[in-house]
Amino acid sequence: MIDIDKWQEIFQSISKHRLRAALTAFGVFWGIYMLVILMGAGKGLENGATQNFDISKNAVFVWTRRTTLPYAGLQPGRFIALKNDDMAAIRESVPEIDVIAARLQLGGNNTIERGDKSAAFTVYGDLPTYLEVKPLIIDNGRFMNDLDVEQKRKVVVIGERVKEVMFAPDEDPIGEYLRIGGIMFKVVGTFKTKTKGEDGFEDVQSVYMPITTMQQAFNRPERIGWFAFLPQPGIPAKVVEDKVRLLIAQRHKVDPNDRSAIGSANVEEEYKQLQTVFGGIRGFSWLVAIGTIFAGMMGVGNIMMIIVKERTKEIGIRKSVGATPGSIIAMIVQEALVLSGISGYLGLLAGCLTVEGIRQGMLQFGVQSDFFANPQIDFTTAFVAVLVLVLAGVLAGLIPGLR
């Protein structure tokens, strides 16, 4: 049953100090509101950063350039060229690798022709395993397969932008031919990318062919530009990175510490660093918000102290007619919870509406950013905010009540 008289008494007690109560309530409102906004913005920044991790989050990339350190009697300045036999040696010597993808770039932008149309795009030679390292959306046809690589077929998979430039809107490119470097290649698939921003635009301007085809057709026998690896489940990417670098250094007589000659990128380590940064942002957001909420609750506590002092006689009368200390404390705590609860709920609601408004606005106006995407508040954040609010409200009423 709802005790209407008790609720009337609570609101009458608070209304005697309207200005003080309003200012205090605003402090609580603002603390919760800022918590929600900061957490929503932090999530948007995190989504914006992680959307650029379109490649597997435990991928390792290894490439070679010129040596800068002398080693084993050899002078610096040697160019280290990766070959097919390096890939075979890596497969055999590094069992921690689950997926290996070799890549070769034709070099710069290459003119692609079809009839009277021509445009410059980036051309890569790849293995079918490339899709495991960097997932693409194959929206028509297929990606290259093992048979394409084995038979060195002259087939290509083209990006969305390549399709738009080289083909009419109502034209199906599958089965059609493109001329690259004077050689005809059959289109077997088209793709879109999951990557946003500039990187995504570069992706859809690319053309992929079997790496063996590129090696043969463009006179680059056995040549590999760089490797991408995925470790076995449970194996740290750092293990694969170190073993591959050491093996290449041994095979090509390079100082293992020559980072310029043998370069590498560890996506797993970069992702961990990014998560640490955003963990710090989340912690800072909670610190700022809880500090603001605490200041608001100090105000609630002060109001309750004033109310208790003004009602000393009333409390004495209640005790004389049989009211227990627990019931009196409960009454004061209830008043504090009402003041903090209403203002906190309004802050939570306003914060959620603001974050959702920003999200909907970005969708409606087609706003895309490499750094900010899909701001949102998860259930855990809202639940913890309410929990903090309730605990703070109880403390704000309990301390004056005990005194």
- Do residues 291 and 337 share a domain? yes
For residue 146, pLDDT over 50 is answered with yes
- The answer on 152 and 38 residing in a single domain is no
Q: Examine residue 39 and state whether it is found in any structural domain, yes or no.
A: yes
For the purposes of burial, counting CB atoms within 10 Å of the CB of 196, is it exposed (0-12), middle (13-18) or buried (19 or more)? middle
CB 94 within 8 A of CB 243: yes
User: Which structure tokens are listed for 30?
Assistant: 């603002």
Residue 145 shares a structural domain with residue 246? no
Q: pLDDT category, 9, cuts 50, 70, 90?
A: low
How many domains does the chain divide into?
A: 3
Q: Show the beta-strand stretches assigned E in 252-401.
A: 262-266
> Using 50, 70 and 90 to split pLDDT, how confident is the model at 328?
low
| Residue of 402 and 292 predicted with greater confidence | 292
pLDDT over threshold 60, residue 2: no
Tokens of 236: 């740290």
Say whether both 109 and 162 belong to one domain.
Answer: yes
Burial of 4 (0-12, 13-18, 19+ CB in 10 A): exposed
**pLDDT tens, residue by residue, 229-262:** 999 999 999 999 999 999 999 999 999 888 889 9
pLDDT at 1 over 50: no
Higher pLDDT, 392 or 235: 235
pLDDT value, residue 213: 97
The pLDDT of residue 283: 81
Q: Are residues 73 and 151 in the same domain?
A: no
Which pLDDT tens digit goes with each residue over 348-364? 888 889 988 888 888 78
pLDDT tens for each residue of 180-210: 999 999 999 999 987 766 666 678 899 999 9
- Which domain range does residue 298 map to? 4-52+272-402
Task: Determine if the pTM surpasses 0.75.
Answer: no
- The secondary structure element, H or E, covering residue 106 is strand 97-114
Percent of the chain at pLDDT above 70? 75
**Alpha helices (runs of H) in 135-266, residue ranges in sequence order:** 146-150, 160-166, 197-203, 211-217, 237-252
Question: 261 and 80 in contact (C-beta within 8 Å)?
Answer: yes
Contact 87, 104 (CB under 8 A): no
CA dist., res. 93 & res. 346, Å (int): 62
Please report whether residue 122 resides in a domain. yes
Decide: helix, strand or coil at residue 95.
Answer: coil
Distance from C-alpha of 113 to C-alpha of 6, rounded to nearest angstrom: 83
Is the pLDDT assigned to residue 12 strictly greater than 60? yes
What three-state secondary structure class fits 129? Answer: coil
Q: In terms of pLDDT, which residue wins out, 28 or 88? A: 88
Query: What would the pLDDT profile of 267-300 be if each residue is shown by its tens digit?
Result: 888 888 888 887 887 788 777 767 766 766 676 6
Residue 386 has pLDDT above 50, yes or no: yes
DSSP string, 191-225: EE-S--HHHHHHHTTEEEEEHHHHHHHTT-TTEE-
Q: What is the pLDDT of residues 204-235, one digit of tens each?
A: 899 999 999 999 999 999 999 999 999 999 99
More confident residue, 348 or 159: 159
* pLDDT for the residue 402: 59
Token pair for 375? 């701001």
Residue 133 and residue 237: Cα distance in Å, rounded? 13
Residues 358 and 347 in one domain: yes
- Looking only at the bridges linking them, the beta strands covering 155-159 and 183-192 are parallel
Residue 64, CA distances (Å) to 162, 240, 347 in order:
30, 16, 55
More confident residue, 48 or 214: 214
State both tokens at 259: 């980072």
- Does residue 132 sit in the same domain as residue 212? yes
In a domain, 329, yes or no: yes
* Whether residue 199 is found in the same domain as residue 317: no
Which spans in 311-324 are helix H? 312-320
